Amino acid sequence: MRQIKRLFSLLLFLGLMVGAAYGFVWYQAKTFIDAQIAAVAPHLLLSYQTLVIDPRGTLRLEQIVMLPAGYSSPIDLGSFSLHSDDPLFFFDPQGRLDSGDFPNFISMAFSDLSLDLAADFLTQAEPSAAAQLLHPSAVQLEALACADEKSFSASVMRKMGISRISSDFVMTLQADNDKGTLALFTEMESAGLFAIDTQLDMNFSAGYLKPATFAAANPRLKSLQFDYQDLGFFAKRDKYCAGARGVAEEVYREQHLELVKQRAKQVGMQVPPHIWDAYSESTSRGSQVNFGVSPIGGLGPEVMLELNAPHDLLQRLRIYWRVGSIPVDLTDVDWLAMLPSLETDITPKPLLESNQSDSDLSQDNVAISQNTVEVAPEPSSDNITLGGQIDAPDRSDTDTQQGFPGIAYKPPAPPEKRFRRTEFEQLTQYVYAEIRIFTYYGNKIEGRLEAVEGDRLKILHRVGQGMAIYPVDRTKLDVIEVLR
């Protein structure tokens, strides 16, 4: 009986110690959060309902309401979570940040960020009718040819049928101070509009990733990638703008492209035809665009000092651009000619005067004035290419295989594979694919996905000189990425 009492006392003591440690972490985290809320209070009033701390390295706030100071319309956020591979980070987050002792892996996730486009802080930020009368031709590039609209402001988006925007945003930072590497990933998806992913990779002098020494870290850009996927925005734009003008959507897109060309000409930009075709495809419904740079040898401060002209910088960047699976040929592009001329008068002015002759636009067979639009008879759908150009009747088979006029035809290549964030429910599609996961403990496991059995994964993982099957429960997963 005495042994049982001692065992019970020991368990009780351990339970009290664990509870005290959890309470201390919870208090430290809440103190840190409340301090950050107080710091932004002059500009943003923020409140939350629940604070959840996972001792394995996760902090989560739920049911968050943000109210810009001086306004009455709130911004709702379903949850905000902060995850680190170093649970000790939450013992003293403020001290760790001040000293530059960052975790090797940290991620922030904003879930269900909801914004009403009729919010007062949005409507008050829009230019007044009087201001628009003072600058009647100050139309933003994306709104050209969209009736009388100057920009796709909140009020215009409401006309397009978008009353509320709901978005998810994830940012992941992986830094290894000992190796001098840093990678930043962001993923954002706005339901029914678009999805944007970015990836930034940098090198720096090992051991210098701290606020006090970062100036001497000599950071170098290795690569920057931007991925865009249209989820409905351009379809809504085309439908609204074409309806406002009373023309077909194809006609509106031709008018928009023509006005964009004129805007570029006004500022002295000389853009090759195949770049215009790629731009048109990039802004079409359902478009998928990959854009990025991968500088030769990296891009650091010393390289910037040695460059003598913007043209040298553009050549050094190694820019690539893909629309869908078709790469845009940038090998012979004169980047210097595409830059706006410093001697060009870029003061906003009407794109076309009302007395301009139709012959000025004979190349595209479209005549546009400030108030009217005349379009040549619409061709049949069989004679229209992806770029919106009209095919000649005797066009050769080789020409019809081009994705964009002016681009040498290349067989469609599959999109470049990279590790992409994937939901657990989708993993059955990727059995035997390369997979990379991060657990709530911050452990990174990379290998081949062997099986998905219920709520458990089996990953073939290299161990020493051999291979082993590594089982992982779904409850322990934080980030799942599949090479695809």
468 part of a folded domain: yes
Phi, psi of 168 (to 5 degrees): -120, 140
Q: Report how far residue 165's alpha carbon sits from residue 152's, in angstroms, rounded to the nearest whole number.
A: 14
Residues 6+ apart with CB under 8 A from 429: none
pLDDT tens across 13-54, in order? 666 766 666 666 677 777 878 888 888 888 888 888 888 887
Q: Could you tell me the residue range of the domain that residue 446 belongs to?
A: 419-483
430 part of a folded domain: yes
432 part of a folded domain: yes
**What confidence tier does 89 reach under pLDDT thresholds 50, 70, 90?**
confident
Q: What average pLDDT does the segment 44-67 reach?
A: 86
113 part of a folded domain: no
467 part of a folded domain: yes
Structurally, the chain folds into a number of domains equal to 1
List the CATH number of the domain containing 445: 2.30.30.100
32 part of a folded domain: no
Token code pair at residue 476: 């322990």
Long-range Cβ pairs for the range 123-128 (8 Å, 24+): 123/154, 123/155, 124/71, 126/153, 126/154, 126/155
The helix (run of H) or strand (run of E) holding residue 174 is strand 164-176
pTM exceeds 0.75: no
Q: Of 79, 84, 130, 129, give the one whose Cα is nearest residue 107.
A: 84
pLDDT tens across 440-468, in order? 655 778 888 989 988 888 888 877 666 77
Report the share of the chain in percent with pLDDT over 90.
26
User: What do you get for the CA distance between the two ends of the chain, in Å?
Assistant: 61
Q: Report how far residue 287's alpha carbon sits from residue 447's, in angstroms, rounded to the nearest whole number.
A: 32
Q: Report how far residue 478's alpha carbon sits from residue 449's, in angstroms, rounded to the nearest whole number.
A: 16
Distances (CA, A) of 400 to 246, 397, 413: 31, 5, 18
Does 3 have pLDDT greater than 50? Answer: yes
434 part of a folded domain: yes
Q: Mean pLDDT in the chain? A: 77
Q: 259 or 300: whose pLDDT is higher?
A: 259
